Amino acid sequence: MQREGGPSMRLSTCGCRAEHYRRAPRAWWMKALGARRLYHCFACDAVLFVSPDALKNKRQVEAARRTSAGAVKLKIS
């Protein structure tokens, strides 16, 4: 659900690849909440307020998929 004036803030990662995420400056109240960081997804224009661990896990899953996809291609050829 979008609010007037811009995209809504997600508390989890979107379906886009992590390489599309860029850090965005946080407001003072976001810093008070601790470990979460603010990201902007340039692929879907989402604003994400997620923990660094969530982003790290997403990157690891994507790397594993790329590695396993490469291994499958090597077996076929």
What is the model's pTM? Answer: 0.73
pLDDT of 58 over the 50 cut: yes
Confidence category of residue 66, pLDDT binned at 50, 70, 90: confident
What per-residue confidence (pLDDT) applies to 1? Answer: 46
pLDDT of 2 over the 50 cut: no
Burial of 50 (0-12, 13-18, 19+ CB in 10 A): buried
44 alpha-carbon distance from chain centroid: 11
